[in-house]
Structure 1
Amino acid sequence: MSTLTSLTSQSCQTLDDWLCFIEQQHPQHKIELGLERVRQVAERAGLQQLPGRVVLIAGTNGKGTTARCMEQLLLAQGLTVAVYSSPHLLRFNERLRFNLQDATDADWIRALAFIEQLRQDIELTYFEFTTLAAFYLIKDFQPDIALIEVGLGGRLDATNIVEPELSILTTIDLDHQDWLGPDREAIGREKAGVFRANQVAVVAEQQLPASVVDVAACLGTQLLRAGQDYHWQAGQNSWSWHSASVALTELPLLSIPLQNAATALMALQQLGLLSEMPAQITQALAEVSLAGRMHWLQQKPAVLLDVAHNPQSIQYLAEQLKTLRIGHRRLIALCGMMTDKIKPGALDALLELIDHWVLVSLPRPRGAAAELLLSILPDNCSVSCFNDVQSGFEQTLQQLQQDDLLLVFGSFVTVSAVLGLSTALPEAK
């Protein structure tokens, strides 16, 4: 591969070349929200007009699993589905999939080269560039349904140039406050930017900020709200869901939040695509899983991965661990986080559950040092610090007992690194 300093669009040969070239033009960590640049380039080739029926999914947590639930249920009906999401865990290709298959290197290379020619002298951020490339491939694929996951916020995110038939708002919590605002009201207003005039939005957040309701009222957007327009209830061995017109029972329990699956069902009903065949729905839901979300690498000794990285997702993780840790002698947490996520109280929900903390430093500029994580833990915590994920993970593995549970969480970067190192796992005895 060419070196970073010598890369040009003409010298790019591989997908890695192209991603390095885009990165050197505009580093990923330099975020510039706004639609003017990306819309101007998109309009040159009609990339903002995606084929099929388009669903735009925003929210603090739950976007990926909501999209995956919808994807499984749509594929079970014989429909073709494109899903665009971010970030990825192991390979950039994961950001775009067609009928569960990641877009190939050749697809991405072709699309990125097209956008480089299309943009001419307009500067694009890394996310804008790759989002337009994804839209180019979606137009090429011509799916029946395109599920588009918002990258950051909603109103000014590059994905918001499309015109969705349906918008989804999963949850609203404190995250990305430097860009979206200081509180849930401000953040909710930004995320409600995916609503469209006189259309419908499915909303999973039950403690809805007034700002979201205000945006909907101004646009004439009809909100279908969790707890009002659709409901779900978990039992010991199954769960149920119902809206005003459909009731589903004996659904399989899932490893993802039921709130996300319930929202997917409501979205499909609104699209007129909720099959009322219980066996079909049950089978499709039973197959729902997403790498890095309550993801078991091994059982003995147990290793669990989850990308929880903000207060809401960490609180959910803590609730799940209260049950999952039963039968395990120790619960050890390997945690690496981004600097902007480390705030007083960020890890409080887990304090009573964790027997030992393994704190790891993540790469700069956004990654936090282990010592910064240490500063928000009480002095009485049992802690080990490491300079990187690999050393922390490998040394912790060597000390794991068969009845221990190792939790890896805190960032997509942390989970991605451990997935890449998973061959180091000891074989179950």
Structure 2
Amino acid sequence: MTIDLPISSQSCQTLDDWLCYIEQSHPQHQIELGLDRVLQVARRADLQQLPGQVVLIAGTNGKGTTARCMEQLLLDSGRSVAVYSSPHLVHFRERLRINQQDVADEKWVEAFAFVEQLRESIDLTYFEFTTLAAFYLIKTLQPDLALVEVGLGGRLDATNIVTPDLSVLTTIDLDHQDWLGSDREAIGREKAGIFRANQVAVVAEQNVPASVFAVASEKNSQLLCAGRDYSWQQAEHSWQCVLGPEVLSELPLVQLPLQNCATALMALQQLQLLPAQEVVRRSLAQVQLAGRMQWLQHQPAILLDVAHNPQSIAYLAQQLATMKSRFRHIHAVCGMLQDKIKPDALAALQSLVEHWHLVSLPAPRGATAHQLQAVVPQGQQVSLYNDVLSGYRHAESVVSDDDLLLVFGSFVTVSAVLAYTSPPEAK
């Protein structure tokens, strides 16, 4: 009988070794918010002081697409850009990209070894450890700008040890209530914790909780709010963005929320890095992000989206409603985490999805297909599966060329399908 012994840092040779070591020390699902531990370690090597300009991005939804839009616009302006985000979809190295390239495994190995030595006897959570490693890499690689996505909340998230030149708050909705509070006011206060004294913060949320304004007042932060200080308007074949007195017109429509694109433009304007309009048009025309309204194929049509909370699922439903007439039937492969299953979690999709393929996600956080069945709108066809790939393979086998197969509900669900469908060289 083979006994798996705990791995030690001294035996770590590969990225997988390090991830196993960090996971066994503090599993990903064990969350401990707070800045004391991570800041104490960071200060030993000034990891909280990132090079160039720094943008800190918080919000319930839209962080990834806002950062992606900013990244593309900056790259097309000739600047070097680092983007730190989580979670990843297929490979851990996706969490940090420099100039749109994932940082190589060997660089992550170097960074983890550095943080392990730096922390000495201080215990770090999985996210704290990986965040410090990412900050080490950003300092080493010296990009012009670092776009840093908050992991959870804002005020007590490990990313909040940096001093941003600009803060961005995308949206505020009910999510992670066990950690952030039971209502939008409490959640808004936590997310507004990324604001800085006497600095600008761009806020994309169009129904801003009073708590966000209160935090801004306490910190003397200047808020630039969607609908008041900047706006966007969609036409049939294009859209325009109004940034104060500046108007960007005839912008190409994209598969990402225009709210996030407009927020990216506003953020760049505030950093005095907004490109010329022809560069903006060219950049937006090529912006896309894996797992966000991502077309895997078109016949039959397979669409992936990481929508996993009420706000993002409602947006997904809006997009599906505009394209429903193109398809005979819509099938959905759905797997969710237990804390996302609310009585009306899937209500927005009731009139759109005709056949639900419900899949169980791995413990400890994943919900079973039977748990998910309890929130599926009644009267619709339902099939249950023990795992994502079983559900996906069966759904793929029964859809017709004129049907749409939607895969959504969690990063875990989408990542499993992406890993399964990726070409061998990408795996």
Cα gap change, 1:279 to 1:12, in 2 (>3 Å): same
> After superposition, where does 1:381-392 map in structure 2 within 5 Å?
381-392=380-391
Q: 2:405 corresponds to which residue? A: 406
Note if 1:93 corresponds to 2:93: yes
Note if 1:286 corresponds to 2:296: no
Note if 1:380 corresponds to 2:379: yes
- Distance in 2, Cα, partners of 1:410 & 1:49: 36
Note if 1:111 corresponds to 2:111: yes
Shift of 1:423: 5.8
Q: Which amino acid aligns with 1:53?
A: Q
Shift of 1:32: 0.4
SS in 1 for 2:5: helix
Shift of 1:3: 8.2
> After superposition, where does 1:43-192 map in structure 2 within 5 Å?
43-192=43-192
Shift of 1:293: 0.1
- Distance in 1, Cα, partners of 2:216 & 2:104: 39
Percent identity over paired residues: 67
The structure 1 segments of at least 4 consecutive aligned residues displaced by more than 6 Å after TM superposition are none
Shift of 1:400: 1.2
Q: How does the TM-score come out when normalised to structure 2? A: 0.98
Shift of 1:4: 5.6
What runs of 5+ residues in structure 2 fail to find an aligned partner?
none
Q: 1:338 corresponds to which residue? A: 337
- Distance in 2, Cα, partners of 1:291 & 1:242: 28
**CA offsets, 1:183-228, max 9 Å, x none?**
0000000000000011000000010000000000111000000001
SS in 1 for 2:367: coil
**CA offsets, 1:373-407, max 9 Å, x none?**
00112442210000000110111111111101000
SS in 2 for 1:366: coil
Q: Which amino acid aligns with 1:399?
A: V
- Distance in 1, Cα, partners of 2:169 & 2:261: 13
- Distance in 2, Cα, partners of 1:194 & 1:348: 33
Q: 2:312 corresponds to which residue? A: 313
Q: 1:365 corresponds to which residue? A: 364
The question of whether the paired residues in 2 share the 8 Å contact of 1:296 and 1:303 is answered with yes
SS in 1 for 2:66: helix
Q: Which amino acid aligns with 2:18?
A: W
**CA offsets, 1:242-278, max 9 Å, x none?**
1223111000001000000000000000000012x22
What runs of 5+ residues in structure 1 fail to find an aligned partner?
425-429
Shift of 1:6: 3.5
Cα gap change, 1:392 to 1:331, in 2 (>3 Å): same
- Distance in 1, Cα, partners of 2:307 & 2:235: 25
Q: Which amino acid aligns with 1:119?
A: R
Shift of 1:103: 0.5
- Distance in 2, Cα, partners of 1:90 & 1:390: 14
Aligned residue pair count: 422
Q: 2:324 corresponds to which residue? A: 325
Q: Which amino acid aligns with 2:66?
A: T
Q: Which amino acid aligns with 2:350?
A: L
Shift of 1:324: 1.8
The question of whether the paired residues in 1 share the 8 Å contact of 2:344 and 2:375 is answered with yes
- Distance in 2, Cα, partners of 1:101 & 1:373: 36
Q: 1:227 corresponds to which residue? A: 227
- Distance in 1, Cα, partners of 2:355 & 2:320: 14
Note if 1:8 corresponds to 2:8: yes
Q: Which amino acid aligns with 2:311?
A: Q
> After superposition, where does 1:233-312 map in structure 2 within 5 Å?
233-275=233-275, 277-312=276-311
Cα gap change, 1:349 to 1:383, in 2 (>3 Å): same
